[in-house]
Structure 1
Amino acid sequence: MVIQNNGERLIKEMLKKDNHGQTLPAHLPEKQVMGLPQKPGVYYFHDQKDKVLYVGKAKNLKKRVISHFTGLDISKKRQELLRTVYRISYVECPTEFIASLFESVEIKRLWPIHNKSQKRFEQVWGIYQFEDNRGYIRLGIDKKRKHLQPIACFALLADAHRMLWKLVKMHDLHPALCFLDLTAQHIWPDVQEYNQRVLAALQWVAEQKETFVIRDQSAYVLVENGVFYGMGTASTDIGVHELEALKEQLTMYPENEVIRSMIRNYTERYPSKVIRIA
């Protein structure tokens, strides 16, 4: 009836009103949403028993959380989330990038029921070294083991094969001694001379594992020897080359493939914020 009586303008004005109370979940106090800071961070939706249902990251915590309760999405999944949210908590982060990294850490830690992305099992592959009964230092690819440290890790098996073939070609390694050639072999290289080539290859791999800091004002993300170490804020009077002093002010977090990808993309996009440490 309103539309038929030229009420479109009235409808638009009503939709623009800054009153979110009508769209909030029934069990969620409005003051929790209105009290959220307009800063970067990670937010958590809790159920009646305080279990975390969903983890998200935001450039603006208040604006992002309110966006969950607006719009016309009437899907069963969304309605279930709105019905079961009783509380919101949050952690402020110094930058949006750090919020993105911390979100990934928390999704892996809490495994919330309403988060779908980043909850798949990550099969990681590694290049390992060992000495066989003839004295040869062998290189081979295998699934990443919990208590064995590979010389390099890869999310894709194809990437591990590409790297191993690169080492074979660069350092004149024997494909059969790297499990890349399974045909019968009749001539083998000298053990000591061959092992020196393998050691040279291992040294080259180690040199590729850079230590660097991503710095955005007082916010720091540290990658040490090619592995994500941690992040946080630190005193601006600490030089990034004072590595041990910097590490004392950062919080360590476990690495995962999503974090490795985000750091790789960020360093390519913002090279001016990357400080490499020799």
Structure 2
Amino acid sequence: MSSIVHSAVVDILVHPSRIMIKLTCFPEHMILLDCETTGGRASRDRITEIGLIEIKDGEVQSRWQSLINPGRPIPPWIHKITGINDEMVADAPAFEDIAESLYQRLQNVILVAHNARFDYSFLKQEFKRAGYDYSAKTLCSVKLSRRLFPQHQGHSLDKIIQRHQIAVKDRHRAMADTEVILTYFTLIQQQIDAAVIQQTIADILKRPSLPSHLDNTLIQKLPEKPGIYQFYDEGGTLLYIGKSVNIKERVLSHFSADHRHHKELDISQQLHHIDWIETPSDFGAQLLENSYIKQTSPRYNRRQTKIKKLYQINKTLNKDGYAELDIMVADMTDASDITSKYGLFRSKKQAQTKLLDLISQYKLCQRLCHIEKKASGPCFSYQLKKCLGACCGKEQAKLYNLRVDMALTHIKNQQWPWSTPIIVEEQSPTNNGGDSHFHLIDQWCYLGQVDGHTTPNTRLLKQPQDSIFFDIDTYKILLRFLAPTKLSHFPYLRIHPLENSASVSMNSWG
């Protein structure tokens, strides 16, 4: 390869007569573009090559291409696909070197690419690093192919090349792949009625930028009601579970920011199918989302994974009548015991940090809080006048214990307000009809959805987990809706205590 190709941008003006068919059915001013990259994640990986063809009034105006030095090694598997290696890009310009001229070239045009979401997200990120806020209206040739040729199964560039017998050299090089799109558009215009092409393009440009392999009719079926939605890849693997008071609106929001968040881009690239479950309100949606995530552990739900260990602060009285505080592991199988203690912490370090804050704020004794391991006598903080002397009898137990109780008030757990398990009847807050859902709850633990509320032995329809145990996320959801000070804010939730019934066993349920 010549040194010119290694280091310089190639910009070729093209005489209009070189194109055989004028693309009159397509946008008046568009740029066909393809990017080669070091990987598939725009927030992490970099562009290694760009090729584009500018078309105005249906005629090719220019071709522009450049290798790009990504500033990092090109992975071997990328080299194997594209043929681009570190040596080829060593003398090529960095993206910031060509950013200004490229930014000007891409203004006020329709950006066309095969799987435009991918190329657009990389351009957005590269321009952002170079100090430019780039945005454009995009036309995805994958979506166009799906709409115009619905009888075909595959719409990848390789499938299109094979199906339409398009001759191409240097497949997976930027300009070569861009030339394929140009040839494909020429073939489309020969085979499809002009009005159909124009209307299809208009529809695509008006709609949100959906993943190219997601059936648009599925999006149209999404309800504008509360519930959860589930994203699946082509092989049926669960990618993500989310919830919303408006399923359709929330699903569409995933496809508006994928150039900024690598998780959204990864999901969009893999997404092939969406399922959903409607609920009467946000209450059921939150419970269902949390339960399903912990059952199935979807690939991209990492924040709500199942926690098997929590820490708490326990209070006891010593032989001299002074309150002692200690950090202990919570008994996840005994919710009543958990709510009798203080705080819920996901790690021992988090619990220690909170305890130290309380010690400092309320001048508690570090020895009586088991921070200082000294067995007896004044603690070190007493010498610094940060402890008032409970450790050595200089402060009365009654006064010290009162201050301990004041400190713990801020992290006191909510006791279960009912004497029995309850069934929460969930209705729609908008009174728009639909069935009520019934949820069985005991000691702040969600035991599942049931078929009614008339008897203590109501049949369990959906059990959220294999073995019932205390879950901090469920506890927070239930507090948000069912705490005595909050319940009046949600008149669409009706409480039915299971009178004269024994408390539900967390170890044996199901």
Distance 1:261 1:150, change over 3 A: closer
**Residue in structure 2 matched with residue 204 of structure 1 by the alignment:** none
Cα offset, 1:48, TM superposition: 2.0
Cα offset, 1:120, TM superposition: 7.8
By relative contact order (CA 8 Å, sep 6+), the higher-ranking structure is 1
Cα offset, 1:257, TM superposition: 0.8
**Residue in structure 2 matched with residue 155 of structure 1 by the alignment:** 344
Calculate the TM-score normalised by the size of structure 1. Answer: 0.60
- Post-superposition CA distance 1:154-213 (Å, at most 9, x none): 52347x98xxxxxxxxxxxxxx9x9899846xxxxxxxxxxxxxxxxxxxxxxx544434
Q: Is the 8 A contact 1:105 1:253 kept in 2?
A: yes
Using the alignment, how far apart are the partners of 1:47 and 1:97 within structure 2? 28
**Residue in structure 1 matched with residue 6 of structure 2 by the alignment:** none
Give yes or no for the alignment of 1:107 onto 2:293. yes
AA aligned to 2:478 is I
- Post-superposition CA distance 1:59-85 (Å, at most 9, x none): 22222212222x355123322221111
Give yes or no for the alignment of 1:216 onto 2:438. no
Using the alignment, how far apart are the partners of 1:215 and 1:122 within structure 2? 29
**Residue in structure 1 matched with residue 246 of structure 2 by the alignment:** 60
Q: Is the 8 A contact 1:45 1:87 kept in 2?
A: yes
Give yes or no for the alignment of 1:26 onto 2:237. no
Q: Is the 8 A contact 2:230 2:274 kept in 1?
A: yes
SS at match of 2:259: coil
Using the alignment, how far apart are the partners of 2:333 and 2:460 within structure 1? 28
Q: Is the 8 A contact 1:214 1:275 kept in 2?
A: yes
Give yes or no for the alignment of 1:257 onto 2:472. yes
Q: Where do residues 236-251 of structure 1 align in structure 2 (5 Å cutoff)?
A: 238-239=453-454, 242=455, 244-246=456-458, 248-251=459-462
Give yes or no for the alignment of 1:275 onto 2:495. yes
User: Aligned Cα RMSD in Å?
Assistant: 4.4
Calculate the TM-score normalised by the size of structure 2. Answer: 0.35
Where in structure 2 are there 5+ consecutive unaligned residues? 1-27, 30-106, 109-136, 138-201, 315-324, 346-350, 356-367, 377-414, 428-435, 500-510
Cα offset, 1:228, TM superposition: 1.5
Cα offset, 1:121, TM superposition: 4.6
Q: Where do residues 135-154 of structure 1 align in structure 2 (5 Å cutoff)?
A: 142-144=328-330, 151-152=337-338
Between the aligned residues of both structures, percent identity stands at 23
Q: Is the 8 A contact 1:52 1:112 kept in 2?
A: yes
Equivalent of 1:88 in 245, 265, 274? 274
AA aligned to 1:275 is I
**Residue in structure 1 matched with residue 481 of structure 2 by the alignment:** 266
Using the alignment, how far apart are the partners of 1:50 and 1:274 within structure 2? 37
Q: Is the 8 A contact 2:425 2:494 kept in 1?
A: yes
Using the alignment, how far apart are the partners of 2:309 and 2:494 within structure 1? 29
Distance 1:93 1:216, change over 3 A: closer
Q: Is the 8 A contact 2:312 2:328 kept in 1?
A: yes
Cα offset, 1:264, TM superposition: 0.5
AA aligned to 1:260 is Y
SS at match of 1:23: coil
Q: Is the 8 A contact 1:210 1:276 kept in 2?
A: no
**Residue in structure 2 matched with residue 227 of structure 1 by the alignment:** 444
Cα offset, 1:95, TM superposition: 2.3
Q: Is the 8 A contact 1:127 1:141 kept in 2?
A: yes
Using the alignment, how far apart are the partners of 2:446 and 2:241 within structure 1? 22
- Post-superposition CA distance 1:210-244 (Å, at most 9, x none): 443433332233322x1323343644xx44xx3x1
Using the alignment, how far apart are the partners of 2:203 and 2:440 within structure 1? 41
**Residue in structure 2 matched with residue 74 of structure 1 by the alignment:** 259
What is the aligned length?
218
